[in-house]
Amino acid sequence: MDREEVIKIMSLLSEGTNPETGEIYDQGSPYQSPRIIRALFHAVRLLEGNGNIQSTGGAQKKERKIFEVPLLDESGKELQGILRKWRTETARTMKIPVYVILDNKAIAHIAYLRPKNIVQLQKAHGVGLTTVEKYGESILKIIQEHDMDGSPGEAIPGPGDAWGNPTDAMQCRNTEANRPLRAYAPWTGKEDEDLRRIHREGMNVQKMAEYFSREPGAIRSRLEKLGLK
């Protein structure tokens, strides 16, 4: 069992959720005890890395950024509940623990972002290529059926469908190399049009890079080619 799997299991337990079934423990369970919940919560924080864990050699481990679950509006909470129910039913059908599909943080972030396509879904916390390949279609369908008119908590980067998504192979290589999903993809006419628009609106290069899922250097190069300063 690797570190990430341990964190997923303990995170669910700290929220009073059965890691195998996704069901909430009843009030008589030890996992509903405030003292045990606090202990599990702090254990998860330590495992995620807050700079206080010592290695066997006595050296401090490198601090890791801890993902903070976003606050959801009422519509987001409703979608979160639907996604959790789907996760439980899917895990039961496949005879696997619920944490193997998605942990609670991932579901909360998906409910917050409300992605409209695969590229946007991969930007959610804890969602990798394996998750997308196995469950991406189902997740996107749930979101679409729930409320495609709802307003997400933050702007979702870029209308990827209108630009034409990079090939699966390119997205895979970029993900493995920890590069933005559209890195090295050819620029399209629609992207150039959107780049000119947001440049006029005064968006900075870093925000542009996030919007287009490209490297800041690629944004600067394209701006120069288009004669935009």
* pLDDT in 10s for each residue of the chain, 229 residues: 778 888 888 888 877 788 888 777 887 788 877 778 778 877 877 877 753 444 444 444 444 455 677 788 888 889 999 999 999 999 999 999 888 899 888 999 999 888 888 878 888 888 887 888 899 999 999 998 886 554 444 434 444 445 666 565 566 666 667 777 778 888 888 888 889 988 888 888 888 888 888 888 999 999 999 998 7
The verdict on 108 and 139 lying in the same domain is yes
> Is 54 within a domain?
no
The verdict on 81 and 130 lying in the same domain is yes
Number of domains in the chain: 3
> What DSSP line would sit under 94-126, residue for residue?
HTS-GGGT--HHHHHHHHHH--SSHHHHTTSTT
> Is 61 within a domain?
no
What is the residue range of 12's domain?
Answer: 3-48
The verdict on 9 and 39 lying in the same domain is yes
Closest CA to 37 of 18, 15, 22, 7: 15
pLDDT computed for residue 31 by the predictor: 80
The verdict on 220 and 189 lying in the same domain is yes
The verdict on 134 and 86 lying in the same domain is yes
> Is 83 within a domain?
yes
The verdict on 201 and 164 lying in the same domain is yes
The pTM of the full predicted model, rounded to 2 decimals, is 0.49
pLDDT computed for residue 52 by the predictor: 46
* CATH number of residue 124's parent domain: 1.10.150.80
Torsions phi, psi for 213 (to 5 deg): 55, 50
> Is 56 within a domain?
no
